[in-house]
């Protein structure tokens, strides 16, 4: 992210491609990352840049899911969340308590065949279903410092009800449709409530929010509506029009520096 100066961003809110998830396989292949280790090395370069551009005390929030896949005939879990924690701590971030995002569903299902993997009702070869994702939270060094009675900080405060719900560890937030505005590929978009809460919790009015995996622009839309400045990166050029449509009137505040051909 060479366009960004050192220590110029206050908060990062993002959901990166998930290693060992089929919709992201091509993304990692294009980066010459075909193994689990190579995929996380690829993501690690982004986390290193996040460490460079965040201000001291800045916060990074990463929504990530673990994955299951059968490799060489062996079914196993790939713990993406733990690898990202390791990567951030390698960059001298402090790991803060994380959030578990449980997506409510009306009926558990797995590819239309029920929720359970393995042998179903017969022990011991069934597997627990992964029905939560992590929102990992990291801080760059010590907490941010503010002048006494900083007006923007006080204008940004949350209510007791918001604090009690947002700072609990399990969030129950319904997901969103994965195709949008004529773009038919699955985007793994998260609902607006996720960045809304995180931006309110970990930034103040006027701060700069960064999403290095912008996708359909959900974080951008919410950040601008909350009177934050915003910077985002997205390598899928076809999503530029989707982002503009999602931003609506806020698109007038955004400068698109580059668009991939």
Three-class HEC string of 125-170? CEECCCCEEEEEEEECCCCCCCCCCCHHHHHCCCCHHHHHHHCCCE
pLDDT at 258 over 90: no
Asked whether residue 222 is assigned to any structural domain, the reply reads: yes
DSSP, collapsed to helix, strand or coil, labels residue 70 as strand
Asked if the structure places residue 52 within a domain, the reply is: yes
- Pair 101, 194: CB distance under 8 Å: yes
In a domain, 2, yes or no: no
Flag whether 106 is in a domain: no
Cα(163)–Cα(141) distance, rounded to whole angstroms?
A: 23
CA dihedral 49, 54, 57, 60 (to 10 degrees): -70
**CATH number reported for the structural domain that contains residue 151 in this entry:** 3.40.50.150
> Does some domain include residue 24?
yes
Residue 261 has pLDDT above 50, yes or no: no
Would you say residue 113 lies in a domain?
no
User: For the chain, what percent of residues have pLDDT higher than 90?
Assistant: 64
Task: Give the domain range for residue 196.
Answer: 9-65+77-98+133-253
Give the Cα separation of 60 and 80 in Å (integer). Answer: 16
Q: Work out how many domains the chain is built from and give that number.
A: 1
Q: Is residue 124 part of a domain?
A: no
Does 91 map to a domain?
A: yes
| Whole-structure pTM value | 0.88
Per-residue pLDDT reduced to its tens digit, 52-77: 999 999 999 999 999 999 888 898 99
């Amino acid at each position: 992210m060479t366009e960004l100066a050192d220590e110029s961003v206050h908060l990062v809110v993002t959901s990166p491609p998930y290693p060992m998830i089929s919709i992201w396989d091509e993304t990692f292949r294009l980066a010459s990352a075909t193994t689990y280790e190579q995929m996380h090395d690829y993501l690690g370069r982004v986390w290193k840049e996040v460490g460079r551009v965040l201000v001291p005390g800045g916060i990074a929030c990463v929504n990530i899911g673990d994955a299951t896949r059968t490799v060489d005939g062996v079914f196993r879990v790939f713990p993406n969340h733990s690898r990202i924690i390791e990567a951030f701590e390698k960059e001298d971030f402090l790991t803060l308590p994380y959030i578990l995002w449980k997506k409510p569903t009306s009926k558990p299902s797995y590819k239309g065949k029920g929720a359970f993997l393995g042998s179903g009702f017969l022990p011991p070869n069934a597997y627990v279903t992964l029905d939560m994702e992590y929102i990992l939270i990291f801080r760059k060094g010590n907490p941010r410092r503010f002048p006494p009675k900083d007006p923007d900080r006080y204008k940004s405060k949350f209510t007791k009800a918001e604090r009690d719900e947002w700072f609990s560890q399990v969030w129950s937030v319904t997901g969103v449709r994965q195709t949008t505005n004529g773009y038919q590929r699955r985007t793994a978009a998260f609902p607006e409530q996720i960045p809304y809460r995180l931006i309110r919790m970990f930034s103040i009015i006027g701060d700069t929010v960064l999403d290095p995996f912008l996708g359909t622009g959900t974080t951008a839309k919410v950040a601008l509506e909350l009177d934050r400045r915003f910077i985002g990166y997205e390598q899928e050029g076809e999503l530029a029009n989707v982002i503009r449509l999602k931003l609506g009137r806020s698109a007038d505040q955004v400068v698109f520096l580059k668009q991939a051909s």
